[in-house]
Homo-oligomer: A and B are copies of this chain.
Amino acid sequence: MQRYFLKNDQFVDKTVRITESDAHHIQRVMRMSEGERIICCNENGQAALCEIEMISTDEIQGSIIEWLSEEKEMPVTVTIVSGLPKGDKLELIIQKGTELGATRFIPFIADRSIVKWDEKKGKKKLERWNKIAKEAAEQSHRTIVPAVDSPMTLKQLVAASDCTHKIVAYEEVAKQGESSNLHHVLSNLQPGDSLLVVIGPEGGLTEQEVAFLEEHQFIKCGFGPRILRAETAPLYVLSAISYQTELMG
């Protein structure tokens, strides 16, 4: 069933009020009529089964049939911090990472990032990234839409972060055979914990960046013995987190 992510003030008593692009999507893309059903999620991650009651040019009203008790979200929140990569690789990370359960994406300007961040063009990019997250959240039946932040530096990231667990993917330790830290961290996660994962851009993190993160209590982890591309490593760790916290119970 099609799902829409609404603001809390679009829910009033037993009705929902859908406007703008979501209303357009229901009318023009899905061509739905009165009596058909959709799922509407509020900003708290709660999902309601709704029936469309009234369709007008720029607004759709629905009645809430029932609030659903869906468990679609991982028991921990995961923030993926990716070195700003070339081309549209971040789009792949956001789309697939949303399907795989990430809570938040933060691009960072890495020593080896080739791309420069242009504040002006950046605004449009950020809108596009957030749109990709929203569409992937709908498609994968998430009950929240992951946020995508403006790029920041590692220093800003470390200052802003209050996650309970922090790891950095580092292929140099993997090459030296490090193969137990990721499992050690993941197997100690408790429901409600928050995990911050830093992954380098193409070309990897510099030694200085890794040393800086270590000073701030990040744990260096190998993600297996093969070299993963910058856009594959986030998918690996999200899958491992889901496997550990959702399928090994």
| Contacting pair B99 A228 (CB below 8 A) | yes
Interface residues contributed by chain A, number (CB under 8 Å): 36
Residues of B within 8 A of A232 (CB): 96, 99-100, 235
Compute how far the CA of A222 lies from the CA of B139 in the bound complex, rounded to whole angstroms: 17
Closest chain B CB from A74 CB (angstroms): 8
Q: Mark A87-123, 1 if CB is under 8 A from B, else 0.
A: 0000000001001110000000000000000000000
- What would 17 A/B residue contacts be, using CB atoms closer than 8 Å? A99-B227, A100-B226, A100-B236, A101-B226, A140-B226, A140-B227, A140-B228, A140-B229, A141-B226, A179-B249, A182-B247, A183-B248, A232-B235, A235-B235, A235-B236, A236-B239, A239-B243
Residues of B within 8 A of A226 (CB): 72, 99-101, 140-142
Closest chain B CB from A249 CB (angstroms): 7
Count of this chain's copies in the oligomeric assembly = 2
Chain B residue nearest to A186 in the complex (CB): B243
Which of B142, B227, B239, B249 is in CB contact (< 8 Å) with A240? B239
Closest chain B CB from A86 CB (angstroms): 15
Closest chain B CB from A132 CB (angstroms): 13
Query: Given the known A-B contacts A71-B225, A101-B226, A226-B72, are A182 and B96 also in contact in the complex, defined by CB atoms under 8 Å?
Result: no
Closest chain B CB from A49 CB (angstroms): 15
